Amino acid sequence: MSENLKTIRELADELGVSKQRIQQIIAKLSPKKTPSKQGNRYVLNSKDVYNIKESMGFINDKLSTNITKNRVVDYDVYLDAINSLKEKDEQIKALLEVQKKTQNLLDQQQRLSLQDKKNLEEYKSEIKDLKAITTKETTVEKKDRYHQNNLEKRVNNKPKNWWSFNKRG
Give φ, ψ of 86 to 5 degrees: -60, -45
Query: What is the Cα gyration radius of the chain?
Result: 57
pLDDT reported for residue 160 = 60
Rounded distance between C-alpha atoms, residue 129 and residue 137, angstroms: 12
Residue 61's pLDDT is 53
Residue 43 phi/psi, 5° resolution? Answer: -115, 120
Average pLDDT by stretches of 10, the chain with 169 residues: 75 86 85 82 85 78 54 73 94 97 96 95 90 74 75 64 60
CA distance 145 to 149: 6
CA atoms within 13 A on the CB side of 98: 6
- pTM of the predicted protein model: 0.35
Query: What is the C-alpha separation between 28 and 16, in angstroms, rounded?
Result: 19
pLDDT in the model for residue 26: 86
